[in-house]
Amino acid sequence: MRIRTAGVVALFALALAASGCGGDSDEPTANQSPKAAGGKLVIWADDKRTAALKPFAEKFGKENGVTVEVQAVSKDLQTNFVTASQQGSGPDVVVGAHDWIGNMVQNGAIDPVQLSAEQKSAFNETAIKAVTFNGQLYGVPYAQENLALIRNTELAPEAPKTIEDLVAQGKQLKAAKKTTETLCLQVGQNGDAYHIYPLYSSAGGYLFGTAANGDYDPKDLGVGKPASVEAFKKIGALGEKGEGVLKRSISDTNSIATFTGKKCAYLVSGPWAVADVKKANIAYDISAIPGFAGGKEAQPFVGVQAFYVAAKGKNKALAQEFVANYTTTPELAVALYNAEPRPPALTAALDQVKGSDPDLAKFQEAGRNGQVLPAIPAMAAIWDPFGKAEAAVIGGADPSSTITAAGKTISGQIK
Amino acid sequence: MTTLTGAARTGDAAGRPPVANRNVTGRRRNRWFAQVGWRHLVAVLGVLFSLFPIVFVLSAALNPLGTLSTTELVPTGGVSLGNFSGLFERTAFERWFLNSLLIAGVASFASVFLSALAAYAFSRMRFRGRRVGLLSLLLIQMFPQFLAIVAIYLIFGTITDLWPSIGFNTPWGLLLLYMGGALGVNTWLMKGFFDTLPRELDESATMDGASHAQVFFRIMLPLVAPILAVTGLLAFIGTINEFLMANVFLTSSDSKTLAVGMYGLLQGNERNNNFGIFAAGTLLTAIPTVLVFQLLQRYIVSGLTAGAVKG
Amino acid sequence: MSTPLSGPGSATQAPGRGPVGSRPPRSRAARDHAPITLTGLAGKVLLLGLTAGIAVWAAFPLIDGRNWAGLALLAATTAGLFYLYLTRRHIPAKYLVPGTLFLIAFQVFPVLYTASTAFTNFGDGHRGSKDEAVVAIQTSSVTQVPGSAEYALSIATKGDPATGSLVFLVTDPATGTVSAGDTGGLRQLDAADVTVAPGGKVTAADGYTVLNFGQASARSKEITDLVVPTAGGALRSSGLSRAYEGKAVRAYDAGCDCVRDTGTGQTWTADNEVGAFVAADGERLAQGWKVNVGLSNFTRVLTDENISGPFLGTLIWNFAFAIASTGGTFLLGMLIALVLHSPRMRGTNLYRVLLVLPYAMPSFAMLLAWRDMFNADFGLINNMFGLDVDWFGQPWTARMAVILVQLWLGYPYMFLVATGALQAIPRELTEATSVDGASPWQSLRAVTLPLLLVALSPLLISSFAYNFNNFNAIYLTTEGAPFPADNPTNGATDLLITYTYRLAFGGQGAEFGFAAAISLFIFAIVAVVSTVSFRRTRKQEEVYS
């Protein structure tokens, strides 16, 4: 009886399976057919850019008889792209900041893009420099951004010439109870290397020296050198135990809000802050971040957003076509600007939108002497220790020992 | 002295109640407090603790400026529902919502079932490797997930090539992945509950000629209904908030879940700009969970188990 | 279902009454009593049928791809499942296998795979194989030949658009001459035979079919791989509408196992120990490959000052955090569950919903909100209570803060579980004690608490283990802060896991191999602790026997 039951059950089950197969078995073929028919281009970007890109990617697809899919990776886009590429499940094109290039190249995740001299000359020089790595052009830039000083013109009608000016002005406003903070420059508990860099550079510090070919040289680390200690002494003097201008309690989450709440007259931020400032109906103006009196110019980092061709994409020819010959057109750049107001990297596109948006020119002017954010892989080792050292010094720690320790940690992590 | 309440009222009216009456009411109040009142007090304190950060999020959601930083619990710039409408206009929120419901619903149901099966075996049967198996279940979960991502790409890269309908960007693939975690903490939880059920119950059923499957489905499962409901809810919440794997898995915006979509709102420099919308989304995310909880509450209520034992 | 009751190890054997594994004598009579119910049988047929159906569905792509190993695995799994559910033996396995299959595929395999990377240098710059690195080096060295022309390109074929061998039709912008190129080189075409669009692109040519983008992109790989040799280098496509004359400056030479730069003559020799091409002066090419490094990741964990120095302090705090989070949430959750567990209590439904709310919110969102509430100058907590505490700026306040946040996040979970547990305790037991005249407190201690502990102690262990590695709790709040001014790698609230993460992913690119090695160490610690505490639960497990 035991065998019989088992047998009957098995037989029934198989019969059921067989009857199910009829419908099931043609499914895989159905799934494969679209693959064979035409090309498909998959683009990965972050959420914001995905929304902006979608209509144009679709237009490109329609014009050329291919399918284009824009997909958003919400977190860790770069690492996920590199990992997925390695395993062969990555996209054909990826959109991201230019400082990813170093890491993507060392992992063989992106291919160089060949632009003609004519195409190249249509771009802003800084933008082209940013996406050039080891002498090769690795991406097509479409927008650039840098920090600037945004001020509330009702409270501070004049743009400060120096940090000292700004502090004096800010303190006056504070004393008059018009504001509660002198300057909104985000620091946060663990520091923020990107936002403090203009002051650091003005006070004489640097991150990496430049090699003979103009690239950053990871062997020449500026953090921990005497100049960096001096720079941090100046920053520390503005900190919580000093002037109280720089504070760890001002962080990425509240810096813009404090400015829009009219609690401070000056904000150090980028183009992304403008939308909020406008929404809060604040009369504002944008100028370059001032440097220390008698110091160097304050150099903000210039970052560039770019399109890259994945080295292990399934449809590289099409990806090359899209990146090299479609994203280089001003129409796309203008459209991307309209979706997200950052200065376009294409000169023609910038000229087109400059008229209607005076802020763009101001941001660009503020970034004129900016420094291209280093794209070398070693840069990844800087952010965390540098930021923490900044936070510690602002909190009152001894600049000399703090920066020396940070320099040691960073050099220990650079291969 | 007619009734206590009457007495109390007269006492109040007189301004200074007669001593004897006051004692009676006071005692009654004391008794009420000793038996029920203090419970309310503790519960209210607990609720306050629970809600206080949520009020903060609520105020951000209602704040038209919608920025993260507010020092006050009440929005300063007036109240508006702009963030809620912005959420639906600017994002595929409805889509994320449905995806989350589908994935979390199916995943929690399936994982509770798989875990209950395993917990039954771990609790009621004795076999070689039982305790080692239990311990391994726990320890496997201890491996950091952010390291496993590489392997996940490897596995699902292959699966996507072979069977695209259960690969990347499909809810089914993600469900499969979640099923991998079905045996885990939940199994431990349920095993603990199976252990508390008197063994005489299933023994007597077995004597009456029930098979092991009948014991499981007809006797054990109804008895642990409260805990199935609790585990189901926990699994539901766990899945709906799961982010790390879903982010790797779901890239096309139509396939995203709430957690992934919402995280996208908070990215980098956008963190500040979108916080109002994000806060609105956070509040709406809680709705399905609360509904599921309401739905399951009747299994968690008193009496049900007692009845089952008697029957 | 139809299986008999007295199978080996089945429920009839009362545990604790005989050694595990000893089998009670089987009774023939009992087996014959086993009822074969219709629903049981139908369910079995349906499920097995579904399994077979899925197996057949899954088999086709495997056959198409000639993936015989995969097919064999699939067949073996299916056969195994059929055997297991048709036989009357292996009853525990019938209950364990469904979940275990998923567990093996999606948890055990990833864990083993990750653990195996601990013996390699797997990480950024060393992700792929040597061949992949060579390809990457060569591709990224392709540069345009100086002074060479840019061509307008059309993709064409002499045969079928989908299969015919590909030809590049290129137009020289200076002269307007059109040539056809394939692996054999360039041949000029007669101007009369071709139609050229204004941009220079060939739209039609006698004897050739010009592919449109859709057709061409379907053959993307062939196009990228097609290199037309020319005098100065080779003609390559840049997309589907332009071609350039480019040259790979660097090439791999198998003879010397090195990469040679044809421009400068410099060579980089493969170092198979570190997985990189290294020049004589020590300069490395960026693109490396994954190699086996033996135990060096492990020895690095033990010998690296940065890791071993603060290790003990971090470990102690890690234990404190896990114990405080688990214990705190448990006590608070249980307390409130007990409070609400009273038949006279009104409004419990509402209370429960409100209490569970913290758990219903996406935790990453709430962690960010909490982080803001602890802000020293602008935070709600300082403002509301009139405090001036730099919460995340001092070790002890920061630790208190993260534990408080954990308490808030975690106690609804314990509350729910304890509520479920209380409901599952048969009321007769508590009623019996109150009939015996015990006070509520006595009956709580004598009956309710022990039973709660039986039900929840496995959970407490697992909750401890979870909190021990609770990455988000720290990463999304303090990120490990505060840090000593002179050591930016190890903060006061760092758990081992966040510390590991910073070490392995904070530097120049992610080091997966190293991270896996540290994780194995942490894993060993958790395993020992859990095993020890798990042993103590053995007694509780058998309360009823």
- Tell whether C125 is covered by a domain: yes
Domain count within chain C: 4
Q: If you compute the radius of gyration of chain A from its CA atoms, what whole number of angstroms results?
A: 26
Amino acid at B156: F
Beta-carbon separation of B157 and A276 below 8 A: no
The pLDDT, as a whole number, for residue C541 is 59
Residues from chain C contacting residue B176 (CB–CB below 8 Å): 102, 105-106
- Tell me: do C482 and C341 sit in the same domain: yes
Backbone phi and psi for residue C327, each to the nearest 5 degrees, phi listed first = -65, -45
Per residue in C411-427, pLDDT tens? 998 998 888 888 777 67
Q: Compute the radius of gyration of chain B from its Cα atoms.
A: 26
Rounded CA separation C154/C219 (Å): 13
A11, with CB counted inside 10 A (0-12, 13-18, 19+), is exposed
Q: What CA–CA distance (Å, rounded) separates B169 from A91?
A: 13
Question: End-to-end distance of chain B based on CA atoms, in angstroms?
Answer: 48
Tokens found for residue B234: 């926990």
CA–CA distance, C371 with C391 (Å, rounded to integer): 10
Q: Could you write out the DSSP letters of every residue in A167-218? A: HHHHHHHHHTTS-SBS-B----TT--HHHHHHHHHHTT--SEEE-TTSSEEE
Average pLDDT of span A277-304: 92
**Count of other CB atoms within 10 angstroms of residue C36:** 12
A402–C485 CB contact, under 8 Å: yes
Decide yes or no: CATH 3.40.120.10 for domain A39-145+303-372: no
C-alpha separations of C395 from A85, C88, C478 in Å: 41, 61, 11
Per-residue buried b or exposed e for A50-74, using 16+ beta carbons within 10 Å of the residue's own CB: bbbbbebbeebbeebebbbbbbbbb
Distance of CA C175 to the CA centre of its chain: 56
Which tens digits make up the pLDDT trace of A311-330? 999 889 999 999 998 888 88
C65 and C87 in one domain? yes
- Per-residue pLDDT at B150: 84
Of C10, C368, C519, the CB nearest to B144: C519
Contact C408 B148 (CB under 8 A): no
Chain A within 8 Å of C48 (Cβ-Cβ)?
A: yes
Are C339 and C211 found together in one domain? no
Using DSSP, state whether A346 is helix, strand or coil. strand
**Contacts of C454 by beta carbon, 8 Å cutoff, 6+ apart:** B192, B195, B196, C540, C541, C543
CA angle C34, C39, C44 (to 5 degrees): 85
The fold of the A148-299+376-413 domain, in CATH, is: D-Maltodextrin-Binding Protein; domain 2 (3.40.190)
Separation CA C169–CA C211 (nearest Å):
11
Determine the average pLDDT of the residues in A95-100.
92
User: What span, in angstroms and rounded, lies between the C-alpha atoms of B201 and C34?
Assistant: 18
Domain enclosing residue C51, as ranges: 28-117
Q: Quick check: is C18 in a domain?
A: no
Residue A184, phi then psi, degrees to nearest 5? -100, 95
- The reply to whether C339 and C372 lie within a common domain is yes
Do you find a cis peptide bond into C482, omega within 30 degrees of 0? yes
pLDDT of A21 > 70? The answer is no
List the CATH number of the domain containing C404: 1.10.3720.10
pLDDT per residue rounded down to tens, chain B (311 residues): 333 333 333 333 334 445 555 566 667 777 777 777 888 889 999 999 998 888 888 888 887 765 555 545 665 566 778 888 888 887 888 888 899 999 999 999 999 999 999 999 998 888 888 888 888 888 888 787 778 888 888 888 888 888 888 888 888 889 988 998 888 878 888 888 888 788 888 888 888 888 888 888 888 888 888 888 888 888 888 888 888 888 888 888 788 888 888 888 776 555 556 777 888 888 888 888 888 888 887 777 644 443 333 32
Residues with Cβ within 8 Å of C127's Cβ and at least 6 positions away in sequence, in order, are A82, A83, A86, A107, A108, C289, C290
Longest CA pairwise span in chain A (Å):
100
Q: Which amino acid is residue A114, in one-letter code?
A: Q
Instruction: Please check whether residues C236 and C255 belong to one and the same domain.
Output: no
C483 inside 8 A of chain A by CB: yes
Q: List chain C residues with CB under 8 Å of A320.
A: 224, 237-240
- A258 in contact with chain C, both atoms CB, cutoff 8 A: yes
pLDDT at B35: 74
Look at residue A112 in the predicted model and tell me its pLDDT.
Answer: 93
Surface of C (95-124) touching A: CB under 8 A: 124
Model pTM score: 0.86
Three-state DSSP state, A139: coil
Question: In whole angstroms, what is the distance from residue B137 CA to residue C155 CA?
Answer: 56
- For B103, the token pair is 């994935």
CB neighbours (10 Å) of residue C69?
8
Q: Specify whether C312 is located in the same domain as C286.
A: no
| Chain A residues 271-310 with CB within 8 Å of chain C | none
Spatial separation of the C-alpha atoms in residues B196 and C424, rounded to whole Å: 8
Q: Over 50: is that where the pLDDT of A123 sits?
A: yes
| CA–CA separation, A144 and B19 (whole Å) | 83
CA distance to A99, A408, C18, C411, C466, per residue, from C319 (Å): 38, 30, 38, 19, 12
Q: Within a 13 Å sphere around the CA of A76, how many CA atoms are in the beta-carbon half?
A: 17
Domain ranges of chain A: 39-145+303-372, 148-299+376-413
Nearest CA-CA partner of A115 in A127, A100, A104, A107: A127
Contacts with C282 (C-beta within 8 Å, 6 or more apart), sequence order? none
**Which sign, positive or negative, has the C-alpha torsion C255, C258, C261, C266?**
negative
| Residue of A18, A316, A378 lying closest to C220 (CB–CB) | A316
- Chosen CATH of B88-310 out of 1.10.1470.10, 3.30.70.270, 1.10.3720.10, 3.20.10.10: 1.10.3720.10
The total of other beta-carbon atoms located within 10 Å of residue A220's CB is 13
A292, pLDDT greater than 90: yes
In the 3-class helix/strand/coil scheme, how is C269-306 assigned residue by residue?
EEECCCCEEEECCCCECCCCCCCECCCHHHHHHHHCHH
Residues C334 and C348 reside in one and the same domain = yes
Q: Which residue do the tokens 């509040």 mark? A: B283
**Which residues of chain B make contact with C91, given a CB cutoff of 8 A?**
121, 125, 212
CB atoms inside a 10 Å sphere around CB B5: 10
Residue C431 and residue C499 share a domain: yes
Indicate whether C357 and C388 sit together in one domain: yes
How many other C-beta atoms lie within 10 A of the C-beta of residue C299?
A: 12
The answer to whether residues C263 and C343 belong to one domain is no
Amino acid letter, B216: F
Neighbours of C521 (CB within 10 A): 17
Query: What 3-state class would DSSP assign to A286?
Result: strand
For residue C429, the distance in angstroms to the closest alpha carbon of chain B comes to 10
* Residue C68 included in any domain: yes
- Encoded tokens for C44: 């079995």
Judge whether C383 is closer than 8 Å to chain A, CB to CB: no
Distance CA A237, CA A242 (A): 5
Q: Is residue A235 within 8 Å of A203, Cβ to Cβ?
A: yes
Residue B245, sorted as left (phi over 0), alpha (psi -120 to 50) or beta, turns out to be alpha
Both tokens of C513, joined, read 């191999």
pLDDT digits over A185-205, tens only? 999 888 999 999 999 999 999
Dist. CA A119–CA A381, nearest whole Å: 34
pLDDT by residue, tens only, chain C of 545 residues:
333 333 333 333 333 333 333 334 444 444 444 556 778 788 888 889 899 999 999 998 998 888 899 899 999 999 999 888 888 888 888 899 999 999 998 889 988 998 899 999 998 889 889 999 999 999 888 888 887 888 889 999 888 888 888 999 998 888 888 889 888 888 888 888 888 888 788 888 888 888 888 888 888 888 888 889 887 788 888 888 888 888 888 989 888 899 999 888 889 999 998 899 999 888 888 899 999 998 999 998 888 877 777 888 899 999 999 999 999 999 999 999 988 887 777 888 889 888 888 888 888 788 888 888 898 888 888 888 888 888 998 999 999 999 999 999 989 989 988 888 887 776 777 777 777 777 777 878 888 888 888 778 877 887 888 888 888 889 888 888 899 888 888 889 999 888 888 888 877 778 889 888 988 888 888 888 888 887 777 666 554 43
Residues of A (93-122) whose Cβ lies below 8 Å from C: 102-103, 105-108, 111-114, 116
Residue B109 burial (CB count, 10 A): 13
Residue B187 tokens, joined: 């199994």
Instruction: Give the pLDDT confidence score for residue B72 in this predicted structure.
Output: 58
Confidence at residue A164, expressed as pLDDT on a 0 to 100 scale: 94
pLDDT band for A32, please (50, 70, 90 cuts): very low
H/E run at residue A133: strand A132-133
Quick check: A279 and B65 CB within 8 A?
yes
Chain A residues in contact with B267 by the CB 8 A cut-off are 46-48, 74-75
What's the first-to-final CA gap in chain C, in angstroms?
A: 27
The DSSP annotation for C172-229 comes to: -TTT--EEEEETTEEEE--GGGEEE-TTS-EEEETTBEEP-HHHHHHTHHHHHH--EE
> What H or E segment, with its residue span, contains residue A365?
helix A358-366
- Measured between CA atoms, the residue of chain B closest to residue C108 is B140
Whether residue C467 is found in the same domain as residue C325: yes
Q: From the candidates B156, B250, B251, which should be mutated to test the interface with A, based on the most A CB atoms within 10 A?
A: B251
Please tell me which chains touch B, using 3 or more CB pairs under 8 Å as the contact test: A, C
ipTM over 0.90: no
* pLDDT tens-digit readout, B168-195: 888 888 998 899 888 887 888 888 888 8
Q: The tokens of A16 are what? A: 């059921």
* Assigned token pair, C486: 């002179």
What are the structure tokens assigned to A88, written together? 């062969």
Instruction: In whole angstroms, give the CA distance from residue C506 to residue C55.
Output: 44
Residue among A75, A253, A280 whose CB faces B271 most closely: A253
